[in-house]
Structure 1
């Protein structure tokens, strides 16, 4: 059956998906084709602005302009001219709806997921020729395709692109250098400020302890170490809150334990309320680190 099966909009410079249609097809061949589409979406900057790829019973067609790529999967029997008319219509609407500055500034996948409504409606129209109202424009697109035909990607080109993608992902395997965190909440910002305050108090008391040691040889140097370890743990908690890292939650609990131990050691120099304040702030910060989760892929990110 000649149909448009799937469509997506991505940012050319990094392949970030901006919007996509939803579908529930479980055909293995279609899933393989959508994996090809995902590879292509990350390499649009290296490809011509209009391309086609034959993938078994399906075709992948895409076009790119002004830093945005528009991709679609359709049945192999679907007319080429209709496919690129479909992409051209998505492009015109997307350019009118979103400005380039906003497109360049987004960091989350599917930031323009509301555009999916337009994609779905357009897909329905192009899958029903009787309701298709763009027949008058087909001659223009036919002429354009005849004068400047889409580049037909070969299996060798696709294999080369797949090889580049695998090498790139292997290079960063396990360290997730570009993993983003959810926006910081107000409580998270407050906890970060309080943690910095506690770190500053520990640092100040540590400096005073050093001065006391220099003036009196009988002072315990371990107090200095306890103050500076507390400062380091506070700074590390702020880093864990601000940036993603592997075993982030476990590291936050270790930092909390270190702060608790250092305050227990300093019980002779601090009263109960001071110790409770430092431990409570550390526990609050640990909770905020746990609540601020990495940004995951959208559930339908299966292209």
Structure 2
């Protein structure tokens, strides 16, 4: 089928429909597609953010650059029009049905390619789709336990986009360099500790473990600062705690200023990891 027939805006967290097209054809196949869309909306948190689904002669999120430009434009307009707190507080289905006016206007534009061609730039979307092609859902995916089927569970891994973080700051870069320095110092002292253990059996090998754990904690904090991951703030705090524990254990081998330096650098890395937030946090709704 060519052109846009139906569009719906739903809240990702619970699948609550927020708005939808009100003038759609009462076609049997389209009715069946809308049933599949309703099932899909209940499982959105378990799917990649860009998917396609074939249902008879129709597609949900038709896999073309034009269709994804349409969806992207609707989402941006919805974000601008409605405050996220209002969206989160909505309890009734179709609380924002008035947004249908925007859907109809946008749908009309996208169903008239001549008038559309001069108003959108598809280059960015083409690049996005090439780098991250939409995932093709199947009926098994929709009816699988918690949104996953045996076929798809493995394929979902790695499909979600890597979240981009805010630009680096000078203080963040300095903290990262100092953290690498602390890791290098711990590694060097750990190697020397191994030599001491080999030369003297009375040496405590646990010091070696403490030095190497300190190295791992420092480098892991740098990784969390540079790249997005789930629970990165919690992980960074745990790495800080590990640095503190290691330095407390190494109290006999380091003076107070050395210990304070290592702990302070780790604390700065935890702070900068917390301050460096992801760019363009996704809203709790989708189209």
TM-score range, shorter chain: 0.5 to 0.7
Distance 1:269 1:238 in 2: 25
| Aligned match for 1:163, one of 131, 142, 163 | 142
Higher strand share: 1
SS of equivalent to 2:257: helix
Q: Give the unaligned 5+ runs of structure 2.
A: 10-16, 23-33, 75-98
Paired residue for 2:252?
268
Contact (CA 8 Å) 1:195, 1:285: kept in 2 or not?
A: yes
| Aligned match for 1:192, one of 176, 190, 193 | 176
Distance apart, 1:280 and its partner CA: 0.5
Distance apart, 1:298 and its partner CA: 4.2
SS of equivalent to 1:94: coil
Q: Deviations over 1:32-75 (max 9, x none)?
A: 89x6798896218x799xx867xxxxxx9968358954357978
Distance 1:300 1:218 in 2: 59
SS of equivalent to 1:93: coil
Paired residue for 1:94?
120
Q: TM-score, normalised by structure 2?
A: 0.55
| Counterpart mapping for 1:77-156 below 5 A | 82=108, 84-86=110-112, 88-95=114-121, 98=123
Paired residue for 2:52?
43
Paired residue for 2:166?
183
Contact (CA 8 Å) 2:109, 2:116: kept in 1 or not?
A: no
Distance 1:195 1:201 in 2: 10
Distance apart, 1:207 and its partner CA: 0.3
Highest CA radius of gyration, 1 or 2? 1
Distance apart, 1:281 and its partner CA: 0.6
Distance 2:248 2:284 in 1: 49
Distance change >3 Å, CA 269–CA 241, structure 1 → 2: same
Paired residue for 1:211?
195
Contact (CA 8 Å) 2:165, 2:276: kept in 1 or not?
A: yes
| 2:268 counterpart of 1:284 | yes
Distance change >3 Å, CA 184–CA 278, structure 1 → 2: farther
Contact (CA 8 Å) 2:109, 2:115: kept in 1 or not?
A: no
Q: Give the unaligned 5+ runs of structure 1.
A: 9-24, 54-59, 108-157
SS of equivalent to 1:210: helix
SS of equivalent to 1:180: coil
Distance change >3 Å, CA 258–CA 87, structure 1 → 2: same
Distance apart, 1:279 and its partner CA: 0.4
Q: TM-score, normalised by structure 1?
A: 0.53
Paired residue for 1:238?
222
Contact (CA 8 Å) 1:234, 1:255: kept in 2 or not?
A: yes
User: Comparing 66-75 with 206-215, which one deviates more in the overlay?
Assistant: 66-75
Q: Which has the higher contact order (CA 8 A, sep 6+)?
A: 2
Q: Deviations over 1:202-232 (max 9, x none)?
A: 0001101111222233322222121111111
Contact (CA 8 Å) 1:229, 1:262: kept in 2 or not?
A: yes
Distance apart, 1:250 and its partner CA: 2.4
SS of equivalent to 2:64: strand
SS of equivalent to 1:217: coil
Contact (CA 8 Å) 2:166, 2:277: kept in 1 or not?
A: no
